[in-house]
Amino acid sequence: MKICLCCEGVCPRRHLDLEKLKQWFKENNCEIIPKTKISKADYIIYIPCGFIYQYFNNAIKRIKQFQGLNPKLIVGGCLWDIDKESINKEFKGKYFTTKNIEKIEKFFPEFKISLGKIPDQNKMSIEDAIYWDKPFIENISTPITLTEKIKNKLNKKPKIFTIRISDGCINNCTYCSHRKAIGNLKSKPLEEIKSEFIKGSQQEYNIFCLTGMDSANYGLDIKTTYPILIKDLIKINPKAKFILDEINPKWFIKYHNELYILCKNKKIKLISIPIQSGNNRILKLMNRQYNSEEVLSKIRILRKKFPKVTIKTQLIIGFPSETEKEFQDSINFVKAGKFYSCHLHPYSEYPNLKSAKINPKIPKEIINTRIQKAIRFFKDNKIHFKAYL
Ligand code: SF4
């Protein structure tokens, strides 16, 4: 059986899900064929993202495009838990969800090897990713240094070994569309992470990306903590350097001393700290549980002492009731924190979000105007950005 797998706009966790499925199909003697030969496949497995409207709508368009091809289509991911009604109206075919990925097994009853036998994967192939045609503006280049790029090219190896350390999330942000899709925090047992880390170290990877929806809440459900995890990994491979993916600023504040020492010891290459807003009133409405001044003061300490550590952030533009001045607070925050880059997401309102009850709503045109203003501001201030319009 010929299978073509692809994902679109997804986070590293869903990309790793796709890699796991790829491995499962291979072990059940299927032939994996590239996107370029998609029409020759017996099945297309497609995992899109639905975090914001733009992604959701794009996913629906892509599903229709795939349905026009001969292969049978199976869709996975978060769409059903984000907006069941909308996706059910558009697609009545086979699907599985992020929380219940094993549901795919029922479409292949003849397979001998179960999905549960396939370990979590650690390499994400860019060949599996489809990129949006538009509208998507970016000017981000990789923060990996030239020497590392050359080294990676020579080794012909993907440069980063990614370890999913947890699934789900412990927070209750009022705007979060995918909380229902990913469920509660479930930390991966330390021993499993260690064994993946040893595997990566033995394959001579030195850069490890630790990924989770809010990575730094790692361990709170299994009586350990994120800093303990990193310290344990460094004991195994002292040469390892880390990319710390998706650190909610509240954990960045709590673990600041530990992160400071890790930066001092040159263990950290990149930290992603999604601030979402630089204004305290909006942060409170978002239920983010930190204040912008405290985050900024801690970011400034790292920035000043360790300028080589890349620090990225994200903003949600047009949260209900956000004023022009509050929007300005957000972009000024990014400048004041000297962030390497900022992803700009327009606020998207799905049914049943807690933020749906907050008024007044910001019209789409104003959200787009603010995003354009943010882009100009970041260009003027030489801050890299990605924006979704
Ligand atoms: S978990 Fe969220 S970010 Fe990841 S693919 Fe699903 S909707 Fe997108």
List, for residues 204-255, the tens digit of each pLDDT value: 999 999 999 999 999 999 999 999 999 999 999 999 999 999 999 999 999 9
Shared-domain flag, residues 19 and 164: no
Among 117, 151, 170, identify where a domain stops: 117
Structural domain including 240 reads 135-388
Among 57, 90, 117, give the residue marking a domain's end: 117
CA Rg value for the chain: 21
Going by pLDDT thresholds of 50, 70 and 90, the confidence category of residue 145 is very low
pTM here is: 0.91
Among 117, 144, 178, identify where a domain stops: 117
140 and 52 both lie in a single domain: no
* pLDDT exceeds 80 at position 295: yes
Is residue 109 located within the same domain as residue 179? no
Atom of ligand 1 minimally distant from the CA of 10? 5
Strand partners, 268: 242
Model pLDDT, residue 356: 95
Phi and psi at residue 384, to the nearest 5°: -70, 155
Give residue 139's pLDDT band: very low, low, confident or very high (50, 70, 90).
Answer: very low
Is the CB of 14 within 6 Å of ligand 1?
A: yes
Q: Is pLDDT at 142 greater than 90 in this prediction?
A: no
| Residue 84, in any domain of the structure | yes
172 and 243 fall within a common domain:
yes
Select from 260, 32, 289 the least CA-distant residue to 173: 289
184: left (phi over 0), alpha (psi -120 to 50) or beta: beta
CA 372 vs CA 224, 366, 382: distances in Å = 43, 10, 15
The secondary element (H helix, E strand) that includes residue 353 is none
Asked whether residue 328 is assigned to any structural domain, the reply reads yes
Q: Is residue 124 in a domain? A: no
Q: Does residue 47's CB lie within 6 angstroms of at least one atom of ligand 1?
A: no
Kindly give the distance from the C-alpha atom of residue 16 to the centroid of ligand 1, in angstroms, as a whole number.
12
Statement to judge: residues 253 and 366 lie in one domain: yes
Residues 248 and 351 in one domain: yes
Residue 126 within any structural domain of the chain = no
d(CA 193, CA 3): 29
- Residues paired with residue 4 on neighbouring β-strands, in sequence order: 44
The whole-angstrom separation of Cα 62 and Cα 201 is: 38
Would you say residue 123 lies in a domain?
no
Strands (DSSP E) found in the chain: 2-8, 31-32, 43-48, 72-75, 94-95, 129-130, 136-138, 161-164, 166-167, 186-187, 207-211, 241-244, 268-272, 310-317, 341-346, 384-388
CATH, residue 110: 3.40.50.12160
One-letter amino acid identity for 160? I
CA 119/CA 122 separation, integer angstroms:
9
Question: Is residue 331 in some structural domain?
Answer: yes
Residue 49 CA to ligand 1 centre (angstroms): 5
Higher-pLDDT residue of 350, 27: 27
Nearest CA residue ID for atom 4, ligand 1: 11
Pocket test residue of 178, 185, 348, 353 for ligand 1, highest count of atoms within 8 A of CB = 178
Residues 56 and 168 in one domain: no
> Using CA atoms, how far apart are residues 202 and 279, in angstroms rounded to an integer?
45
Distance CA 142, CA 128 (A): 19
Q: CATH no. for residue 362?
A: 3.80.30.20
Residue 78 CB–ligand 1 contact under 6 Å: yes
The answer to whether 207 touches 241, Cβ cutoff 8 Å, is yes
Same domain, 379 and 285: yes
What's the CA-to-centroid distance between 14 and ligand 1, angstroms? 7
d(CA 55, CA 86): 13
Mean pLDDT within 60-82: 93
- Cα of 75 vs centre of ligand 1, distance in Å, is 14
CA-nearest residue for atom 3, ligand 1, is 11
The total number of structural domains in the chain stands at 2
Is 62 in the same domain as 139?
Answer: no
CA-77 nearest atom, ligand 1: 6
> What are residue 2's phi and psi, to 5 degrees?
-100, 130
Per-residue pLDDT, 70: 85
Nearest by Cα to 29 from 145, 111, 127: 111
Ligand 1, atom 8, lies closest to the CA of 49
Residue 154 has pLDDT above 90, yes or no: no
Q: What are phi and psi of 114, to 5 degrees?
A: -85, 160
Q: How far is the CA of 51 from the centre of ligand 1 (A)?
A: 6
With a 6 Å cutoff on the Cβ, whether 181 touches ligand 1 is: yes
Report which ligand 1 atom has the smallest distance to the Cα of 177: 7
Is pLDDT at 27 greater than 60 in this prediction?
yes
Identify whether 353 is part of a domain: yes
Q: Is 118 in the pocket of ligand 1 (CB under 6 A)?
A: no
Per-residue pLDDT band for 140 (boundaries 50, 70, 90) equals: very low
Give burial (CB, 10 Å; 0-12/13-18/19+) of 142.
exposed
50 lines ligand 1 (CB under 6 A): yes
pLDDT of amino acid 131: 60
Predicted local confidence at residue 150, as pLDDT: 45
Give the distance (Å) from ligand 1 centre to CA of residue 55: 10
Judge if 70 and 156 occupy the same domain: no
Is there a single domain that holds both residue 95 and residue 151?
no
Answer yes or no: do 7 and 72 share one domain.
Answer: yes
Q: Is position 375 within any domain? A: yes
